[in-house]
Structures are given as C-alpha cells and as structure tokens.
Structure 1
Amino acid sequence: MPPSRLVGLLRELPEVRDRSRCHVALHWLIQKNVVSVPGAKSSAQARHNTGALSFARSSSEIKDIEREAAAWRE
C-alpha cells in the first residue's frame, strides 16, 4: 500500500480535532511508548509541539492509524 493513504489519514484527522498533523503524529507515537524528539528552532515551535500532549484520540482513530501504518510497512 502506498504511504499516501497513511499520509492522507494523518492530514484528515487533525481537521476533526483542530490539531496539526504534527500533533496527531506525535500523539500516536507517544501512545505507542515511542520516544520522539521533534525538532524545534524556536521556543514557539517547542510550545507548538507540546500540543500533542493536550488531547486524546478515540480508539477508532488510533485503530485507523495503526491499520494504515501496518499496511504501509507490508
């Protein structure tokens, strides 16, 4: 499966929650207990990245991301 479906999903979900794609991706990694160190060239970017900590994804959204990520890895 082309990565475009996963990327498309990561683009679609933030619109529902009023979050950025970065927030969705970082939040997903955090829920999987993956240590991620996002880049930040300024304090504003660092504050923006913390937005990944301040919301919750529904279990169906997480399952959708998991399904697309698994398909992409195949």
Structure 2
Amino acid sequence: MTLDKLKPGNSGTIKKLSIKDKLGQRLMDMGIYPGLTLNVVRNAPLEDPMEVEIDGYFISLRHDEARFIEMEKNE
C-alpha cells in the first residue's frame, strides 16, 4: 500500500521510498525515511494535498508525491 491510499485518521510505518531522484532526496530531507511511523491528518477539500504528522510536526504532500512512499498500515 502507498501513502496516497491511506485515509485521514489512519497511521502506518514507512517500508520504503520507491524513488531515487531529486524528489526522493527532498522527501528524506523533510524527515521521511523507512521505519518511520506517520499519521494522516487530513486531505484538502479537493483531495490534494494531504497533511501528515511525523514526530510531532506536520507536512503537506501532494498525492503524486505520496504514491512513491510504500507503507504498512497500522491497525
């Protein structure tokens, strides 16, 4: 499952990033890396962007960026 498929209120653990170029580096610079647990807070009214909480801070990601983040959904 990828991050863009998670709904608000769900949480999960990042399994891997499936991108290696500038976007992959940008995601890692923002603190998104494998093994990290994050919570999906909300989607914008038109679904894009989405807001996620990571270690107490909030990041907005576009769905086309979030689809490169492979997740394991926490139950």
**Fold conserved between structures, TM > 0.5:** no
Higher Cα radius of gyration: 1
Question: TM-score if structure 1 supplies the norm length?
Answer: 0.31
Higher normalized strand content (fraction of residues): 2
Higher normalized helix content (fraction of residues): 1
